[in-house]
Structures are given as structure tokens and as C-alpha cells.
Amino acid sequence: MSGLVRGGAAIVGAAESDLGHVADGFSVIDLMAQGIVRALDDCGLGLRDVDGLICATTQSRTSGLNLSEYLGISPAFIDTTIIGGSSFMFHVGHAMAALQFGLCNVAVIAYGSTQRSVGRRQASVREVNPYETPYRPFLPSSAYALAASRHMHEFGTTREEMAAVAVAARQWALKNPVAWEKKPLTVTEVLGARMVSYPFTVRDICLVTDGGGAIVMTSPERAKSLKKPPVYVLGHGQAITHANISSMPNLTVTGALASGKQAYTMAGLAAKDIDVVELYDAFTINTILFLEDLGFCPKGEGGRFVEGGRIAPGGTLPVNTNGGGLSYCHPGMYGLFLLIEAVRQLRGECGPRQVHGAETAIAHGNGGVLSSQSTVILGTAATI
């Protein structure tokens, strides 16, 4: 049991930094700072209110120091846990605990990446693993492709079904003015695109963009007096199952099963109670795996589930409403953007892609090669 309390903290501010291909010379700390200033402006707080600083990036070894210096703050609480793209969902749990125990009063969670500008090789330096590196895997794509091969083998999942995930994401992205991709996409185009790691073509794989952002968290009491309606953390869960794909116990069952269970239990909710679903779609198979492991469909049925536009705009389950890592943006560690979109959906700020009447949202983060999973369930004041 985690000890976190349902509704024990709220997200009060959320913002992206510049996205896509940012101005020359921008550092990851510039992007984090830009995201923080925008997120604070979003809720009406200022830098001097921030006494909890949480951040992660692959491009600054001591980002917590660099960001503190840059902002001119000496945070009472600091956390730079970095375990891949789900780090920010883990951070939400840490921020919640820090707020509940009085370690800080206002926490910001920030991210920045310039991987498109500087190139992936420089943004995320590969570690040598003597048991994997000799086989020259493209990481992470080869690892996720291995998981996809297993899903296809065990459940008959097809490349067309995986392509449907990319097509749905693109349809959502066309409703998001800041999305990187601007043109429609078909299943045929996904299948016919350049092959990267079978069964994935480049269209089954997330974008490589720059970007960053921040969210602001505080106590439910303080949240009530701020600019925007608070979005409460109803549930939180986390699970680490492995680091390298060759050590993943079962390639078709992820830690989302455990993290989701914890989050649902804490929230007192089930999959059927969730209005908006934001899943870390680094690859098309991810959406399928997480829909299954988080209980939106039975194990093995994810491929069939995503067909026929079910998760696209106008479908019965809105999934990745910003266009996802596949079509909106993917600056390396994407988890924070799922939280930002979930917050905006619950505030009703999403214009043409708004899910009407959304009261609950799930933001599920994935890190490494399906290695670290963390689930955050959010709700409006009506859910408290």
C-alpha cells in the first residue's frame, strides 16, 4: 500500500514549453524554465512560491542543480528521479508525498529535451550492455518490436491493427494546433512506410522532436484559491519489472497491470469509470498493451479493440487526445505531456478535441523498454 491519500494533492498549473524544433541554442534548462514560468502563469503562482523542484532530462547530469541556479531558487524539496519516460508519473507520487508530509508547499515537475536539434545520439547516450550491444539492437525500437512479435504470435494481433493506433493518433493530432504532424494518415501509408524494426515501420514509432513543459502541484486547500479549477490526483501506482528487454519476464504483460491496479484501488475507480485515456504511445503496440493491462479490454484483445475507429475522434473511448507521441510531439521522455493533456481535458480547455463532460482521466507513463510503468488517475472537483 502506498500511503498516498486519494485527492491528497492537486495539479493546478500545466504548460508546454516550445515544441517541435526549438530556436537554435536553446538548452534543456531553458525549456524547463519556460515550461515552469508558463505553468505558474497558468495557475497564478510565481517562482517565489515554488519550494519543491522535480525534474528529469537525459541531457543534464545534475539537472536539479542547474535548474535551481537558473531559476534563482533553493528548493526545500528536490527530486531528480530518472527512470525513462514514466519518470514524471513517479514524480507525481513523490510530489504528493512531499506535499502531504509538509516537505514543500508548491512543487513543480519539469522536463526539457532538444533531441531533434542536437540529434538522438547526443541527447541520449547509449550505455553498453555486453549481453545485448553485440547484436546491434536499435534501442528502443528493437525491444518493442520483440514485444510486438510476441503479441502477434500469442494473440494473432496484426500489423493493420497496430497501424490503426497510428491512424487514430493522427486524427486526434489534426485537432491539436501544436501537433507536429499536420496531414492525415491511412493504414496503407503506415504499412508502406520505411521499415525500421519489423513489424514496425517509421509510422509505428513515435516522433523525434524537441520540447518540454511543467506542471504545478499543491495541496487541495491551496488549490481552491488559484486561477484554474484544480485537477485532483485520485490514484497513483507504479511498477518496475526489468531494465533490459532480455530480462522482461513476459513480453505481453507489462507492469501497467500492477501500477493500474494500485491506482484504481486508491481512486476507488475502474476502467469503465474513466472518461479520457492518455497512454504513452512510443510505439503502436504500447497503446494496445496498456489498453489491455489497464483493463479497457481483455488481454490479447487490444488489436481488435483499436480497430474501427474506437479510440479515434468520435469513437467510444477517447485515447491520446493530443495526438500522442506518434503524432503530437515526442521529446525523448514523453510522460509529462500525458499529464498536461489530461489536466487540460478535465478543465475543458481542449477546443475541437475536447471530450465533453470529462470528469476522470488516466495518464499512464511508460519508461525504458516497457521497464517502468506508472499510472496516475486524475479527477475534477466533482469526483472528490
Partner 1 sequence: MPDATQSPLAIYQAHLDNGDLAYQWSPKAGRAVFYPRVVCPYSASTELEWRVSRGLGTVYATTVTHPMQGAPYNIALVDCDEGFRLMSRVEEIDPMAVEIGMRVRFRLHPAEGDEAAYPVFVPANPAGKGAA
Candidates 22, 147, 169, 223; binder of partner 1 (CB under 8 A) is 147
Q: Report the residue number, 302 or 379, with the smaller CB distance to partner 1.
A: 302
Residue with cell 482521466: 361
Distance CA 338, CA 89 (A): 9
Candidates 113, 115, 171, 197; binder of partner 1 (CB under 8 A) is 197
What does the buried/exposed string (b/e) look like for 211-226 if buried means 16 or more CB atoms within 10 Å of the residue's CB?
Answer: bbbbbbbbbbebbeeb
Residue 264 in contact with residue 271, Cβ under 8 Å?
Answer: yes
Residue 166 in contact with residue 284, Cβ under 8 Å?
Answer: yes
Contacts made by residues 378-382, CB under 8 angstroms, sequence distance 24+: 378/11, 378/231, 378/232, 378/233, 378/234, 378/339, 378/342, 378/343, 378/346, 379/7, 379/231, 379/232, 379/234, 379/267, 379/346, 380/229, 380/231, 380/232, 380/346, 381/229, 381/230, 381/232
Residue with cell 527512470: 83
Q: Is 135 in the site for partner 1 (CB under 8 A)?
A: yes
Q: Report the residue number, 21 or 242, with the smaller CB distance to partner 1.
A: 242
x/- map, 242-281, partner 1, by CB under 8 A? --xxxx---x------------------------------
- Applying CB under 8 A, the span of 29-37, 62-70, 73-81, 240-248 interacting with partner 1 comes to 240-248
Distance CA 105, CA 99 (A): 6
Q: Which amino acid is at 45?
A: L
Q: Report the residue number, 101 or 138, with the smaller CB distance to partner 1.
A: 138
Burial of 131 (0-12, 13-18, 19+ CB in 10 A): exposed
- Applying CB under 8 A, the span of 61-69, 191-199, 347-355, 361-369 interacting with partner 1 comes to 191-199
Q: Is 196 in the site for partner 1 (CB under 8 A)?
A: yes
Q: Report the residue number, 81 or 244, with the smaller CB distance to partner 1.
A: 244
Candidates 195, 270, 382, 384; binder of partner 1 (CB under 8 A) is 195
Distance CA 130, CA 148 (A): 24
Site for partner 1 in 153-172 (CB under 8 A): 153
Candidates 150, 175, 228, 299; binder of partner 1 (CB under 8 A) is 150
Q: Is 370 in the site for partner 1 (CB under 8 A)?
A: no
- Say how many residues touch partner 1, by CB under 8 A: 28
Candidates 80, 113, 115, 142; binder of partner 1 (CB under 8 A) is 142
Residue 287 in contact with residue 311, Cβ under 8 Å?
Answer: yes
Residue 156 in contact with residue 383, Cβ under 8 Å?
Answer: no
Least distance (Å) from partner 1 to the CB of residue 188?
19
Candidates 55, 146, 257, 297; binder of partner 1 (CB under 8 A) is 146
Q: Is 134 in the site for partner 1 (CB under 8 A)?
A: yes
Residue 245 in contact with residue 143, Cβ under 8 Å?
Answer: yes
Q: Is 131 in the site for partner 1 (CB under 8 A)?
A: yes
Q: Is 132 in the site for partner 1 (CB under 8 A)?
A: yes
Q: Report the residue number, 62 or 250, with the smaller CB distance to partner 1.
A: 250
Give contact residues for partner 1 (rule: CB under 8 A): 130-132, 134-138, 141-142, 145-150, 153, 194-199, 244-247, 251
